[in-house]
A and B are shown apart, each in its own frame.
Chain A
Amino acid sequence: MLRKPSRAAPAAALLTALVVTPVVPPEAVAAQARVPVEEFELDNGMRFLAVVRPEMTTVAAGWAAHVGSANERPGITGMSHFFEHMMFKGTPTVGTSDAERDEAIIEEQEALQEQIRAVYRDRRAAARLGHIGDPFGDEDLPEEMATLRQQFDALVDEQRTLMVKDEFDRIYTEAGATGMNAFTSHDQTVYFITVPQNRLELWFWMESERLLRPVFREFYAERDVVHEERRLRTESTPTGEFDETFDAMFWQSHPYSWPIIGWPSDLRVFTLAQAQEFYDTYYVPGNLTGALVGNFDLEEAKALAEKYFGRLRPGAEAPDVVTLEMEQKAGKRLDASCDCQPQVRIRYHTVPFRHRDQYALDVLAGLMNGRTGRLYKTLVLGDEIASSAAAFQQNRKWAGLIEITAEARGEATPDDLEAAIERELQRLIDEPIPAEEIQKVKNQAAASAWEQLDSGFFLLLQLLVYDSLGDWNYMNEWADATLAVTEEDIKRVARQYLVPTNRAVAHYTRKAGTSAEPVPAELADLPEAVQRQILAQIRQIRESTDRVALEGALEQFAAMRSQAPPPMQGAMEYVEQAIRERLAELPSPGEEAR
Chain B
Amino acid sequence: MDRKEADKERRRIKSTEPMRDLMLKYYTEAKAAEGTEKLIAWITSGAPVEPLICFDVIPVYPENHGAMCGAAKMNVELCEVAEAQGFSRDLCSYARGDIGSALTKGGPIGGLPRPDFLVCCNNICNTVFKWYEELSRFFGVPLFIYDTPFVRGELPQHIADYSLRQLEEYIGFLEMTTGKHYDEARFLDVAAKSFYSTELWREILECNEHKPAPMTCFDAFILMAPIVTLRGTQEVVDFYQGLLEEMKSRVEQGIGILPSEKHRLLWDNIPIWYEMRNLGRIFMELETCLVADTYTSAWTYEEVDMEKPMASMANKYAEVYLNINLERMADKQAALAERFQVDGMVLHSNRSCKPYSLGQYDLAREFTRRTGLPTLIIEADHTDSRWFNRAETENRIRDFVETLLA
Is the pairing of A and B real? Answer: no
Residues of B within 8 A of A (CB): none
Binding site for B on A (CB under 8 A): none
